Structure 1
C-alpha cells in the first residue's frame, strides 16, 4: 500500500494498487473501493502548513472565487464525466488509477501552459476591444439615442394618447364581455 500525506494536520489517504484479480485477500469477495485523491475539507484547507520562506503557494489560490456568477459551470469536468467503464467490461485497477492520475495531471498542466501562453495577449485584446466599444457607446450611440428620444418626444406622447383613448377601452370591454363566460368540464 502506498500512502499519501498532505501537511502535518491532514489525514492519510491510502491507495491500493492491487489488481482486482486478487480477491482471495478479502473475506466477503467484494472488491475494495479505490481512492485516488481526497479533496481537502474547508477546515483543513485553512490549516495547511506553509513555510515562512514561501508566502505565495501554487496550491492555495490567491483569489478564492474566480467564477462568482457561474459562467463556466459547463466546464466542471471530472475524470468520471469523461471516462466510465460499465460493470461487464473492466480494465485492471492499476490501469484505472494511472489513467485517472494522468488525466488529472495533463488536464491541469496543459490548462496552465495554455493560459500562460494565451491569458496575457487575450486579456490585452479583450481590454482594447471593450475600451473601443465603451468609447463608441458612450460618445456615439448614447448621444444619438438621446437626440432621437428628444426629437421624437411628440411621437411618444401621441402613441400614449392613442393607447389610452382607443386601444385600452377596446380591450377592457372585450375582457369584460368574455369574463362572463365560464367553462365546466365533466367526465361522462
Structure 2
C-alpha cells in the first residue's frame, strides 16, 4: 500500500483550520476590483494634475525647496557665493558674461553702446577669447554682424543661452554644494541675533 502524503488525521486538522479562515465571497472580489480600479484612476488624475504645466519646464527646481537662478542672481550674498562656486569649477565666465550683458542693457549713449559691445565681444564671444563662453556658431555670427550698429538687444540670445546653461547645469550643483548649504544655514540661525 502506497504511503499517503497526509494522514486522515492531518487532513482533518488542515480542513478545520481552513474553516477559521474567512474566504472572500464572490461579490467581495468584484467590489475590490472596482475599488482598486478607482484608486488607480484617482492616482492617475492626481498625477496628471500635479504635473507641471507646459509653460514651466520640467527641469526647473521647485521654489519651495530651492531658490531659482533668478532669485540667486537678485540676492547679493547668494550671487557672491554662486560666483565663488563657479570660480571653483572654472566656469565663472558664464556669470561674468551675464552680468556684463545686464550692465550693457543699462547703457544710454550710442557711443558707449558700441564701445561696450566690442569689449564684450572681444572678451567673451570672439573665438579664442580670454573668457570665451559656450555659444554656438550661429549666435556668434549674429553678434559679430550686429557689432556695426549694436542695439541693446544684440546679446540677448547669447545671454539667454548662458542663463539656461547655468540654470540646468551649474545652479543645481551649487544648490547641493557645501557653500550654499552653509550660507542657507547661516541665514536661518542669524534671525534672532
Q: If the length of structure 1 is used for normalisation, what is the TM-score?
A: 0.28
Q: Of the two structures, which has the highest relative contact order with CA contacts closer than 8 Å and spacing of 6 or more?
A: 2
Higher fraction of helix: 2
Q: If the length of structure 2 is used for normalisation, what is the TM-score?
A: 0.28
